[in-house]
Amino acid sequence: MKKITLGISPCPNDTFIFDAMIHQKIDTKGLEFLVEYHDVEELNMKAFDGHYDVTKLSYHAFLYLLDHYQLLHSGSALGSGVGPLLVTNSTQKITDWKSTSVAIPGKYTTANFLLSIAFPEIQNKVVMEFSEIESAVMVGKVDAGLIIHEGRFTYAQKGLIKVMDMGLFWERQTSNLIPLGGIASKRTLDKPTSETINQLIRSSIKYAFKDRESSRDFVKLHAQEMDDTVIDQHIDLYVNKYSLDLGANGLAAIERMKREAIQNHLIPNTQKEMFL
């Protein structure tokens, strides 16, 4: 079997999507996947070194990596109402964002991209793993934090207060879907193999939805939040029709993100084709 190195996050949407493919519950067309699981920013950083044949990436990071990776049409986390949340532990309105410390889940995350667009004046950004941000805000280690993944379902229970829904900001600003993260393959990987992997991801998602319990143990093995309800909410929010195929609306959202990033001088200008 041809071996393919694959990097994904331990988040429920990724493990749900890839379970059938990784564990060969579907026909993998002669491909065997050697998988590593990392926080999304670690995956972003590894991609700068070309670490994996196929990898999950924040769309923000992907825009820096167009010379080396191309985007698959399946496997994305993209949609409406799925954006990061900016939270604080204080009921007092923050008026001076320039001096406010904000925890972010990584320099190259889409969350940081959205924060940079919405609050360009914020200078004091503290990078930490996404799973540490809620606690850091709760104990006052930072003034505010950008939470992603399961955090949007649990922050209120922990007494945190939402300052802004960054995804809603993006949707109102652009009338586009929110591109959070996608699956990219190395440009050095031959096109037929990349196309096969794209189809396998789609088949893996269909299998997962057809038999939701089949991936339950695998998803829980890697999840930050173990509650079944939270896990199911996470999957239902982030795994949708755009995960099966980006479609015209998904492609348009990613193109818009690229234009915004260039206009705001967040990424270098490039004409490189993004998609497989």
Q: Where are the beta strands (DSSP E) in the chain?
A: 2-8, 31-37, 54-58, 69-71, 77-79, 85-88, 102-104, 125-127, 144-147, 161-165, 178-186
| pLDDT band for position 153 (cuts 50, 70, 90) | confident
Which is it for strands 2-8 and 54-58: parallel, antiparallel or unpaired?
parallel
- Domains of the chain: which residue ranges? 2-79+178-263, 85-174
Distance separating the N- and C-terminal Cα atoms of the chain? 23
Cα angle, residue 50 at apex, residues 111 and 66 outer, rounded to 5°: 60
Q: How many residues can be counted in the chain?
A: 276
pLDDT in tens, 14-39: 999 999 999 999 999 999 999 999 99
Q: How many CB atoms lie within 10 A of CB 245?
A: 17
Nearest residue to 147 (alpha-carbon basis) of 157, 139, 137: 137
In this prediction, what percent of the chain has a pLDDT beyond 70?
100
Structure tokens at 253: 């959202």
pTM of the full structure: 0.93
Whether residue 151 has pLDDT greater than 80: no
Higher pLDDT, 181 or 82: 181
Nearest residue to 22 (alpha-carbon basis) of 47, 54, 51, 48: 54
Tell me which residues are annotated as active site: 149
Nearest residue to 218 (alpha-carbon basis) of 57, 17, 6: 17
How confident is the model over 243-259, as a mean pLDDT?
97
| pLDDT band for position 135 (cuts 50, 70, 90) | very high
What's the mean per-residue pLDDT of the chain?
A: 94
Nearest residue to 181 (alpha-carbon basis) of 81, 22, 63, 5: 63
| pLDDT band for position 255 (cuts 50, 70, 90) | very high
Q: Residue 109 has what pLDDT?
A: 95
Fold of 2-79+178-263: D-Maltodextrin-Binding Protein; domain 2 (3.40.190)
| pLDDT band for position 165 (cuts 50, 70, 90) | very high
Classify 140 in phi/psi space as left (phi over 0), alpha (psi -120 to 50) or beta.
left
- Alpha-carbon distance of 150 to 156, in angstroms, equals 12
- Alpha-carbon distance of 260 to 113, in angstroms, equals 10
Distant-in-sequence, close-in-space partners of 173: CB < 8 Å, separation ≥ 6: 117
Whether residue 133 has pLDDT greater than 80: yes
Whether residue 272 has pLDDT greater than 90: no
How confident is the model over 236-253, as a mean pLDDT?
96
- Alpha-carbon distance of 150 to 169, in angstroms, equals 20
- Alpha-carbon distance of 204 to 30, in angstroms, equals 15
| pLDDT band for position 92 (cuts 50, 70, 90) | confident
> Three-class SS of residue 240?
coil
Q: Residue 150 has what pLDDT?
A: 75
Fold of 85-174: D-Maltodextrin-Binding Protein; domain 2 (3.40.190)
Q: Residue 269 has what pLDDT?
A: 84
Nearest residue to 44 (alpha-carbon basis) of 59, 27, 29: 59
Structure tokens at 163: 């300052």
In the DSSP assignment, the letter for residue 54 is E
| pLDDT band for position 71 (cuts 50, 70, 90) | very high
Higher pLDDT, 267 or 116: 116
Q: Do the domains 85-174 and 2-79+178-263 match in fold?
A: yes
| pLDDT band for position 53 (cuts 50, 70, 90) | very high
pLDDT in tens, 188-231: 999 999 999 999 999 999 999 999 999 999 999 998 777 899 89
